[in-house]
Structure formats: structure tokens, C-alpha cells
Amino acid sequence: MSTAPVRLALIGLGNMGTAHLEIFAGLQPQAQISAVADGHAPFADRAASKVPAALVFHDPLDCVKNADVDAAVVATADRTHHEIVRACIARGLFVLCEKPFTTSADLSRQLVNAERAAGRRLVQVGYMRRFDADYQHMHRTLQSGGIGEPVLISQRHHNPLAFIEFDERELITSSASHDIDIFRWLCGEDISEISAVSKRTQDGSTVTVVLTLTSQSGVLGVVELGRGPGMNYDIGCEIVGSNGVLTLASPARTDLAAADGVAAQPKPGAWMERFHSAYRSQDAAWLAAVAAESITGASAYDGYATNAVIDAGLASLASGRAQAVLQETESA
């Protein structure tokens, strides 16, 4: 294991990228932010003001190819992940890529194959809920047989309209990626079938999507996704087992403030506050893994598997029928 700091490039410096920058700035001296990059110049320049020693790039690919770094954090728009991560793999850089891994199973499979050709693990996908203490407790309890055989895993993911304006497809392609990964992680196996239904209010302000998942051994999953002005930011998970039930603990709602006669609403950034410790734990663990040259978090294959479920979910939404998940095995 190297004792030198890990030289990082932070690529994509919107809200999520800025959150990563602040976390890694707090992980010095183990982390050294050597480069920042964003195609939107004001974002890159704003980041540069926070880490003046870093080189500034206005082209993410230029950064990947030319910055003197050991690893990169990719928090750009979803559609750009494939090209940037592929360039990182080609250069032999470790990379932490925000979810979803890419925009399709085919593109993600290409990256799995590219990493395999490189001969070692370089990629971790940012499924940070795996690092949340409450989810980890559920995972340990389930894996140890604490509630017997899992039967049903129910999840909930609500967002106020002020946070996102996702349509039905975007709720599946973006919001659901965390929930799909958690279902796979808790079950310890892949998903064989998915169905998707949706409901939109007449004024279009509120959209809900319900996904029904079936694992390879028959564990059932229900994921409720929604956004609308009447919703608070809310994440939920419950596992029904043959000998008991596990429910995700609710954090203290420091993000709420109610006035007389007015329902409490989250303040901006509530989604980050709920999972701040998970993001920090994820980033710290990844940094240590890069230093040890041994990545152990969610893999490129995990990203691909989630994309395969998303693709099938979109097909189900369009057809109105359950769809088999078409997915190559990890060893293929």
C-alpha cells in the first residue's frame, strides 16, 4: 500500500460533484485534489476557487488524458459517463462513477469488457446506500439469518417537485437505480423479472411509478417512486422474512420546519443530509481501496446489472407487461 496521497481528478462539478469535492477536501492528506474539470466553465472555476492548487480543465476528456492523477471521480451528466469512464480505464485510472453507471445495459457491458481487458478492477459505481449504517445493519441481519428467509423487500423513494421534475422514464432510469442495486445487494442475487406501472395526476404535477421485482430465487420486491408538490423527501425500506421484519431506521428530520397550519417541507439539500455519512464513508473507503490498489465496492458488473433491470423496466412501462431481465452472467 502506498503512503503517498492519492492524486484525484474531480470531473463534473454540479451539486453532486461539489459534494464529493468537499468530502475529499476533508480527507486530506490521504487525498490530494490535483485537477477539477467541467464542461460548464463557471462550475469548473467555482471548484478551482475551493482548491486553488488544482489544475482546471474545461474538457473532461482532456482532464482524463492529461492530468497527473491516480484516480478520478465522475459526477457528470448520465449520458457522458460511458465515454469518460472508458477513457479512465484506457489510461489505467481508478474511477468512482456516480449512478447510474451508463444510460443502457449495452454501454455498461462495454465498460465491463474494457475493464476485464485491462486485467484488474478499476471501477466502482457510486451506490452509496451500501455504506449507510442503517442499510448495512439490515444487510448483516439478513445475511446472518436474523429474520429467516427473505420473502418481500419493499422500498419507497419520494422527492418534492422542487427537487426534481422527472417523468416516468426518468424515475426509472435515475431514481430507481439505487433501489434496484439495494434489492440485488440485500438478496445477494440478480433480478430475473420486472414490471412497471405508473400514474400521473391530470395537472401533471405528481408522478408515481411502481416497480415489481422478482429475484432469481423468487424473492419479491416492490419499489414505489414518486415526485410531486405534496411529497416530502422520503426514503424507506422494509424486509419481510420468514421469522421477522426489518425496517430502515428513520433519521432525525433536521431538514423539516413547519409553520402554523402548513405541512413541514424539506429544505434544499435534504437528500444529501439524509445520506451525508454514507457518502463520506463511501468516499473514504474508496480512497483507501485506491491506495491499496484493491477496489471492493459496487463493481462495473453491478452497474451493468442495474442497467439491465432498468432497460427491462422501461420495456415493461411501454408494453404494460412484465419483462424478463436480459443479462449476461458476470463471468461471460
Give me the tens of pLDDT residue by residue for the chain, a chain 332 residues long. Answer: 567 999 999 999 999 999 999 999 999 999 999 999 999 999 999 999 999 999 999 999 999 999 999 999 999 999 999 999 999 999 999 999 999 999 999 999 999 999 999 999 999 999 999 999 999 999 999 999 999 999 999 999 998 876 678 999 999 999 999 999 999 999 999 999 999 999 999 999 999 999 999 999 999 999 999 999 998 888 999 999 999 999 998 764 444 444 444 444 445 455 567 799 999 999 999 999 999 999 999 999 999 999 999 999 999 999 999 999 999 988 76
Q: How many domains does the chain have?
A: 2
3: exposed, middle or buried (Cβ count in 10 Å: 0-12, 13-18, 19+) = exposed
Q: Is the dihedral of CA 122, 284, 27, 267 positive or negative?
A: positive
Whether residue 315 is found in the same domain as residue 220: yes
Whether residue 109 is found in the same domain as residue 81: yes
Whether residue 136 is found in the same domain as residue 164: yes
Whether residue 48 is found in the same domain as residue 115: yes
Whether residue 179 is found in the same domain as residue 119: no
Whether residue 239 is found in the same domain as residue 96: no
Query: What is the rounded CA–CA span in Å between residue 304 and residue 318?
Result: 21
pTM of structure: 0.92
Cβ atoms 221, 246 nearer than 8 A? no
Q: Is residue 30 situated within a structural domain? A: yes
Q: Count Cβ atoms below 10 Å from residue 109 Cβ, excluding itself.
A: 21
Whether residue 140 is found in the same domain as residue 120: no
Query: What is the rounded CA–CA span in Å between residue 330 and residue 259?
Result: 52
Cell numbers linked to 205: 404535477
Burial readout 57-96 (b: 16 or more C-beta within 10 A, e: otherwise): beebbebbeebebbbbbbbbebebbbebbbbbbebebbbb
Domain that holds residue 71: 6-129+278-298
121 DSSP 8-state letter? -
Whether residue 262 is found in the same domain as residue 147: yes
In CATH, what number is assigned to the domain containing residue 49?
3.40.50.720
266: exposed, middle or buried (Cβ count in 10 Å: 0-12, 13-18, 19+) = buried
Q: Is residue 1 situated within a structural domain? A: no
79 DSSP 8-state letter? G
Query: What is the rounded CA–CA span in Å between residue 116 and residue 122?
Result: 9
Q: Is residue 226 situated within a structural domain? A: yes
Q: Is residue 254 situated within a structural domain? A: yes
In single-letter form, the type of residue at position 136 comes to Q
- Picking from 296, 269, 313, 6, the residue whose alpha carbon sits closest to that of residue 125 is 296
Q: Is residue 330 situated within a structural domain? A: no
Q: Is residue 290 situated within a structural domain? A: yes
Whether residue 138 is found in the same domain as residue 204: yes
- Ordered DSSP codes for 256-293: EE--TTS--EEPTTHHHHHTHHHHHHHHHHHHHHHHHT
Cell numbers linked to 297: 465496492
Q: Is residue 304 situated within a structural domain? A: no
Q: Is residue 331 situated within a structural domain? A: no
